[in-house]
A = this chain, B = another copy of it.
Amino acid sequence: MKRIAVLITDLFEDVEYAEPAEAFRKAGHAVVTVSLTKGTTVTGKTLHSKVHIDQAVKDVAVGDYDALFIPGGYSPDKLRVDPAAVEFVRSFVSSGKPVLGICHAAQLLISARVLQGRRTTGYVSIIQDIKNAGAEFVDAEVVEDGNLLFSRNPKDISAFVRASLRKLKE
């Protein structure tokens, strides 16, 4: 059993949270939602699903978790303005522990300035941003580079979940 921090806020892409989170829990992992404020509820952008927030990002540390999962939608755009959220992502990437992201998730890694020289993928709208951050953009359903495991969009979710579950076993 691994402890997975999910960094999420309003306007997340509903299925990009719900399907991986369910699969991680079914596989026996603990999923802990982390956002700007503890005890609130955040709302998805498409299906308007609600997610309860377990922890505030300012109160958590990389040492408390085995992996980080960042769903997409516009949640990463809203989180990247928060210095604690960006620092949490930076620390996680540096730790070598798995960082699993999909869609717009790479925006947080861009703000954390940890993509230089890495290979990754993301939603089509942020391809130029990924390249400008010094990363090699790869157009594939799952792109792994060291501890980073990223996918492009909701169509990649099945492959993302399979690859993530394998990575969590390593």
Contacts and interface: CB of A to CB of B under 8 A. Distances in A.
A107 B78 CA distance: 15
A81 interface: yes
22 contacts: A74-B74, A74-B77, A77-B77, A77-B125, A78-B125, A80-B125, A80-B128, A81-B124, A81-B125, A107-B125, A107-B129, A110-B128, A110-B129, A110-B132, A111-B125, A111-B128, A128-B133, A129-B129, A129-B132, A132-B132, A132-B133, A132-B134
Contacts of A78: 125
Given A111-B128, A113-B128, 14 more contacts: A74-B74, A77-B77, A77-B125, A78-B125, A81-B124, A107-B125, A110-B128, A110-B129, A110-B132, A111-B125, A128-B133, A129-B129, A129-B132, A132-B132
Interface residues of A, number: 16
Interface of A is mostly: helix
Interface string A43-82: 0000000000000000000000000000000100110110
Nearest to A79: B125
Interface string A88-115: 0000000000000000000100110100
